[in-house]
Amino acid sequence: MKIVFMGTPDFAAPSLRSLAKSKHDVCLVISQPDRAGNRGKMSMPIIKEIAIAENIPVMQPERIKQNEELMDVIKGINPDMIIVAAYGKILPKELLDLPRFGCVNVHASLLPKFRGASPIQHAILTGETHSGVTIMKMAEGLDTGDMYSQASLEIAGYNYPELSERLAKLGAELLLKTMDDIESGKAHAEVQDETKATHTGIIKKEEGRVNFADESAIEIERKLRAFTPWPGVYFELGDLKIKIKAVEVHNDIKPVEVGRPAEVIAANNDGIDVICRKGILRIKELQAPGKKSMKSGDYLRGNKLEVGTVLGR
């Protein structure tokens, strides 16, 4: 089949690499524009790098809607299918209706759960035991299309990059099999159950703030895994924002009678123990502003943090 591929971040990379090595003809790759990275240096998306290495033409439009140049190029290709994997923009109906087999999306959740921009993070945040990928036919709504296939895996103790990498590989494998089924007429698309749908938005930087009094130890541990590497998690100590880098949950430790939520009840080489809304969080590694990440014991040797201190403003 003639394929147009649309994607941007690392999650899309295994799918494009698999397609490039398959029997299908990837005629065009569409990715978001290069963006300024560290120190203002322009950085190209991984998908563009792969396309260049595979000698596949690349387009990086600022917008998809009302883009006649882009539509003319795609119409000229007359693709059998458009594959979308974490592209990051809504596709107009004109584009959805163009390919012979429609537009097919690789989505990083077991739909209808976790539609939207951050399904992997929210699967971790909410304590799901399993996550997965869904191959679906795209519709005008956000991740509302009929589902061709799904595959799942255990989340275990994975953080966001680890889980994303595994789901990306799982999605690439499932995509190729599903494409064959679609082409041969074997595929069956199942309508999503709207009563079970949940939605996720774009993660905001301020969501990384930890409030020990309002959050349980396990919720903070999940937040750290979900928000690694961005936006990260932090607590406030006076006017300082201290980033948390590694933790342990200790529900077996009983706080002293006078303990209150957000209070430090131990600070030593083992870590910094903080009372949470439920349970005790032991901070094993942290990072002060302008400093490198360090073990809590090393931090305590150079900084004063007494038992009884209440963290957060």
pLDDT attached to residue 255: 56
241: tokens are 């924002």
Helix (H, G, I), strand (E, B) or coil at 181: helix
pLDDT at 239 over 70: yes
Q: Is 191 left (phi over 0), alpha (psi -120 to 50) or beta?
A: beta
CA distance 9 to 47: 7
pLDDT attached to residue 291: 95
Q: Which residues contact 238 (CB under 8 A, 6 or more apart)?
A: none
CA distance 238 to 255: 23
pLDDT at 257 over 60: no
CA distance 288 to 302: 11
- Stretch 98-127: mean pLDDT, rounded? 98
Query: 197 or 38: which carries more pLDDT confidence?
Result: 197
pLDDT attached to residue 178: 99
Helices (H), the chain: 13-20, 46-53, 68-77, 93-96, 119-125, 160-184, 217-226, 296-302
Annotated domain spans of the chain: 2-200, 205-310
pLDDT attached to residue 40: 75
The per-residue b/e assignment along 261-292, b for 16 or more CB within 10 angstroms, e otherwise, is bbbbbbbeeebbbbbbeebbbbbbbbbbeeee
**Rg, Å, the chain Cα set:** 23
Query: Which pLDDT band holds residue 36 (cuts at 50, 70, 90)?
Result: confident
- E-assigned strand segments in 184-279: 199-200, 233-237, 240-250, 264-268, 271-275
Q: According to CATH, what is the number of the domain 2-200?
A: 3.40.50.170
- Stretch 191-204: mean pLDDT, rounded? 97
178: tokens are 């599903």
Over pLDDT 70: what percentage of the chain? 97
Q: For the whole model, what pTM was predicted? A: 0.94
> CB pairs under 8 A, 24+ apart, for 239-245?
240/288, 240/289, 241/289, 242/286, 242/287, 242/288, 242/289, 243/286, 243/287, 243/288, 243/293, 244/210, 244/220, 244/283, 244/285, 244/286, 245/284, 245/285, 245/286, 245/287, 245/293
Q: Which residues contact 208 (CB under 8 A, 6 or more apart)?
A: 223, 227, 231, 232, 233, 234
pLDDT attached to residue 177: 98
136: tokens are 């679906």
Q: According to CATH, what is the number of the domain 205-310?
A: 3.10.25.10
